[in-house]
Amino acid sequence: KVSGVALDMKPSSHPLYAHAKVSTTPHIGANTTEAQERISTKLASQLHHALTRSKFDNVLNAPNLDLLSQSARPPYYVLAEKLGSLHAQLLGPQQRIVKITIVAQGKDDKRQLLQAACRGLLRHLVESEVICDDVVSVLHARGINLVEHTQEDVDSSSSYSNLVQVTCHLDDGTSRALTGTVLMKSQLRLVQYDALRLDALLSGCMVFFSNDDRPG
C-alpha cells in the first residue's frame, strides 16, 4: 500500500488534491539552493556544447540540426530539405500546396525527414528563417496538411535500398513527387520525378523543362 504521496504540480481541482495523504506544492520543487546550482551548471554546460557545435541533452527539436553546420547534418535530412526546396521552386505562379506527404524507405525517422522537407519548402515561401519546431505550425497556418506514410516501400521495383519521396498535392488537384537517395554516404541524388526515372546530382543550378515529344 501507498502510505502517502507528494506532488509538485500546478494547482488543480482534481479530488486527489483533497486527499488526506496527499501533500502538494505549487510546482516549486526546483526552488532550492541545491536544485538551482544543478540547473545553472547544466545550462552552462549545454550553452558550451551548443557554441562548440557538439551534441547535448534534452533537445526538444531533435536532432539538434539548427545548431549544426550543413556538412554535419545527417545526409538524409539534407536530402529531404533539398527535395522540399526543389518543390517550392517548381511551383507555378498560381499554384498552391494543400498537402505534403513523405515516404521513407529504409529510414525510421520519417517525422524528422518530413520536418526537413517542410523547412526546405518554407525557405522559398516565407521571408524569415524557420526552425524545426515551427514548421508544422507555420504550414498549418498556411492551410497545408502534413502526412507521414507508414508504408516502407517507395517503389518495390527500385534498385535503391534507401529512398526518400516527398509529394506535394496542389489545389488544382494535381500532385508532384520527387524521390531521392544518398550514395557513398554524402552524394545526394534525384532518382525520380513523378513516374520518370532519372539520375541527377542535387547540387548547383538545375534547369527543369518538359517536352511533349511527338513525331513530325
Which grid cell sits at 98?
494543400
pLDDT one digit per residue (tens) for the chain, 216 residues: 788 998 888 777 788 888 888 888 888 878 888 888 988 998 888 888 777 766 656 666 554 455 444 445 688 888 988 999 999 888 877 788 888 888 877 665 677 788 888 888 888 877 766 665 667 777 778 788 877 664 554 555 667 778 888 888 888 888 989 999 998 878 999 999 988 899 999 888 888 877 777 886
CATH of 75-201, one of 3.40.50.720, 3.30.1330.90, 3.30.70.1350, 3.60.150.10: 3.30.1330.90
Sequence spans of domains, the chain: 5-67, 75-201
Cis peptide before 11 (omega within 30 of 0): no
What does the alpha-carbon distance between residue 5 and residue 7 come to, in Å, rounded to a whole number? 6
The pTM assigned to this predicted structure is: 0.63
Query: Reduced to 3 states, what is the DSSP secondary structure of residue 146?
Result: strand
